[in-house]
Structure 1
């Protein structure tokens, strides 16, 4: 009989270590950072907290990512990778599809809207560069010069970010409340109605919107604004 302490030469017989050091790379770090941001928000992202989720020390993370600012750049570009590059088609339909997709990405990752402008040189990330090059080609093919195509892309992106930032802030507030969007809106509504009593146009709007689905209202407002932005860009195209 072998001694009790004699090692049996099999992986299945060897006790598993409680915390084996994971194999870290930039991809796994960024993927976990995005999950942390989605679940806990930007204020709770730290290298120590991220390392804890990965079962590694913060020092190990710094071998792959130099700072938290770099981590934000990488996280923003990672999320941009979710955007589609539709098959080439009519410019307006393509711009609409990409704008809707960008809004959807921001609403899935509410932290992104506030951090996008703070993320240093995030626009040099491969996913953002690929998306920018693609959208430039869409507007250039439609008939704009490269310079004006760049302005058109910036205009559409600025509109989507402006609208989606407010929507993302609302979603974050609802999530923190622990209630559904409808429950939270009903809780806020009396205070909002009292606040607009001296403003007849706002009072009429609030009364008309009472009980509306906030997500549908947001979608309708987004679609209206996007159509008007694209109407303006269409007026800049050469006549055929």
Structure 2
């Protein structure tokens, strides 16, 4: 018979196991996940641990933490998926399928931008949760309604999703470098541009989220390029 510890980690993902049965523990899994997001937003991923979470929750809640969530990896899977919940937005009242895709994917990018630590986890802690799957299904539904079929549908969803993740991870990586320096974006750009062989003003604009050349503007422009190039059709 498998040990209890093995049963709690079987199949490598929290989403492939049953949630523990209800108890009188003071916290639910959702309570723990929302607290973890607050800690990660405040302190980042480097110092995050189950011990840190237990301290945040308080002594009375520590047993609830380990009853509800067995390992740090399980908790990280849960928090990444919770970030994607913000992408499940209603479709626009007017417009075509490109407007619908833009609304959904734009919301996902914004959510990742607001929680940059999530981008560090996407390579190993995303993909099986209900919100991540819901985002994929939403894109499938929009494109299928627009006339995409067969492998062309699968390829279109993949292209959009990979652009979303790639852009979010790249932008978060740039901002992580600046954050580690302890400087603001403008100061970092002015002191780094010469070493990089680029113009300081352009580099500062590249990093500034409010700039017309900044991450959000680049993401929106790149998404438009992809969507303009896609055409509904069927490839078997």
Which band: TM-score by shorter chain?
A: 0.7 to 0.9
Q: What is aligned with 1:114?
A: 120
Quote the offset at 1:150 in angstroms: 3.0
Question: How many Å separate the matches in 2 of 1:25 and 1:151?
Answer: 38
TM-score in terms of structure 2 length: 0.76
Cα deviations by residue, 1:91-132 (Å, 9 ceiling, x for unpaired): 10111122222221111111111211201xx43322222222
Query: Is it true that 1:173 corresponds to 2:177 in the alignment?
Result: yes
Tell me which protein shows more helix as a share of its residues. Answer: 2
Q: 1:191 to 1:131 in 2, by over 3 A?
A: same
Structure 2 unmatched runs, 5+: 1-24
- Consecutive unaligned residues of structure 1, counting only runs of 5 or more, are 1-21, 194-202
Distance apart, 1:60 and its partner CA? 3.7
Number of residue equivalences: 203
Deviating above 6 A after TM superposition, structure 1's stretches of 4 or more consecutive aligned residues are none
In 1: Cα distance, 2:204 partner to 2:189 partner: 9
Contact 1:182/1:213 (8 A) holds in 2: no
- Paired with 1:151 and 1:72, the residues of 2 have a C-alpha distance of 28
Q: Does 1:152 align with 2:156?
A: yes
RMSD: 2.4
- Structure 2 CA distance for aligned equivalents of residues 183 and 207 of structure 1: 9
CA change 1:125–1:37 in 2 (3 A) is same
